[in-house]
Amino acid sequence: MKVLVIGGGGREHAVCRKLAESQLVTQLLCAPGNAGIAQAAVCHPEVKATDVAAIVDLAKREQVDFVCVTPDDPLALGCVDALEAEGIAAFGPSAYAAQMESSKIFSKNLMKKYGIPTAKSETFEDMDAALAYVEAQGAPIVVKADGLALGKGVIVAKTVEEAKQAVVDMMAGGKFGKSGARVLIEECMVGREVTVLCFTDGKTIVPMRASQDHKRVYDHDEGPNTGGMGAFAPSPLYTEEIAKRTEEEILWPTLHAMDAEGFTFKGVLYVGLMLTKDGPKVVEYNARFGDPETQAVLPLLESDLLEIMMAVREQRLGDMEIRWRGGSAACIVLASGGYPGSYEKGKVISGLDAAEASGATVYHAGTAMKDGAYVTAGGRVLGVTALGDTLRDAVTAAYGAARQIHFDGAHMRSDIGSLDM
Ligand code: AMP
Ligand code: GLY
């Protein structure tokens, strides 16, 4: 089968590498892709992941048999709907179902209506009412823009002043454009966070190995939030007992809620959990694989990813047996110096072969090819994943490989996999 993957980051590289192992895949394409993905797939850098018409054109022109739509934007823009309307099989939720991620108010209302454990919250379209609510509730308190905001639409405010500033920035400052016209103000939950990526076809829901990511740029979870500086799986916090509670109190009720509301979610449902003293609660849903969680979870998958994706689309997931290997995986992100603030691009990267020779897999996130050499082309540049019998083994191996890689200004955290955070 000829398969097209949409996106161009480390997560898409991990999806492409796993799809390349499939017996069913004869040819792999990726749009836009990146310099590393080009080792595994024919890339189409001219087709942006947000250009649904161009994606449909490419899929038709290349006569692809199956498209995996990976990032949030094309999903929210109805890429899967547009492909399917042209008779092209596509993996991922419809634009309607993708509101689980693209509208925090949509998913919050669903959770409220069906009693799914999450932070208490109120929705505001009027700024003065929002400010008065913040004043009445006190801090700490969480302010969220409704729509997609590149992961930056959430402010966990320690003081009332900070929360009010966030409300003003979102509702009057236009900081997030239309995404900030409505805000959600939430109770601040306390606990450790775990990500449970699930395959779901609307009839059944199958959790993958639970994972954890590290969002802050510096060690000990200091500094600003990033797209993710590393991840590992399985999460030791996600014990059998918590897994059971999560399935009974969150995963199955979520599936039931979507069904009762009359929509079908087919694809990957990302369930971000906070393990509070009252049990697991939902921090957020995303409508896709997580980045960089995927770079730690998919290497543990033994089953054929394309077979699973096809079963999801055809609602046959319940008949599939999904196998996972034992042991752990850890992914260390190498970022450009200065990220998540401004950074320079075009730094020559060395040591990639040495890193892979140690048995690790190097996923490219922001790289380009220049004069025959890989150079940096983004904030997050690479994700280095290694496997091990234990989490500690995986982390040690991943760091061993990551330290083989050099470019000017390279930054990585040195505490990925630490369970103290
Ligand atoms: P989100 O985009 O909803 O995942 O939020 C980003 C991050 O903000 C989460 O990973 C949490 O660390 C934090 N966060 C979001 N909502 C809450 C909440 N209600 N209480 C505490 N922290 C939160
Ligand atoms: N790692 C967080 C996300 O993918 O949204």
- pLDDT tens track for 226-284: 989 999 999 999 999 999 999 999 999 999 999 999 999 999 999 999 999 999 999 99
Ordered by start, the domain boundaries in the chain are 2-94, 126-181, 192-319, 328-402
Which of 104, 156, 213, 277 has most ligand 1 atoms within 8 Å of CB, for mutation? 156
Atom 1 of ligand 1, residue of closest alpha carbon: 284
Residue type, 372: G
Query: What CATH architecture is 2-94?
Result: 3-Layer(aba) Sandwich (3.40)
Place of tokens 């969150």: 250
Q: What is the pLDDT of residue 146?
A: 84
Residue 94 Cβ inside 6 Å of ligand 2? The answer reads: no
210 CA from centroid of ligand 2 (Å): 13
Q: For 192-319, which CATH class?
A: alpha beta
In the three-class reduction of DSSP (H, G, I as helix; E, B as strand; rest coil), residue 192 is classed as strand
Q: What is the number of the ligand 2 atom nearest to the C-alpha of 292?
A: 1
Q: What is the number of the ligand 1 atom nearest to the C-alpha of 144?
A: 3
227 CA from centroid of ligand 2 (Å): 7
Please give the Cα distance from 383 to 362 (Å, whole number). 6
Residue 72 Cβ inside 6 Å of ligand 1? The answer reads: no
Q: What is the pLDDT of residue 212?
A: 97
Please give the Cα distance from 265 to 95 (Å, whole number). 10
Quick one: CA torsion of 282, 288, 293, 294, rounded to 10 degrees? 150
Q: What is the pLDDT of residue 104?
A: 87
Q: What is the pLDDT of residue 419?
A: 78
Q: What dotted CATH number matches 126-181?
A: 3.30.1490.20
Alpha helices in 63-147 (DSSP H): 72-76, 79-85, 99-102, 104-113, 127-137
Ligand number nearest CA of 184 is 1
Q: What is the number of the ligand 2 atom nearest to the C-alpha of 284?
A: 5
Residue 7 Cβ inside 6 Å of ligand 2? The answer reads: no
Q: What dotted CATH number matches 328-402?
A: 3.90.600.10
Residue 9 Cβ inside 6 Å of ligand 2? The answer reads: no
Reported pTM = 0.95
Q: Which residues of the chain have pLDDT under 70?
A: 149-152, 174-180, 420-421
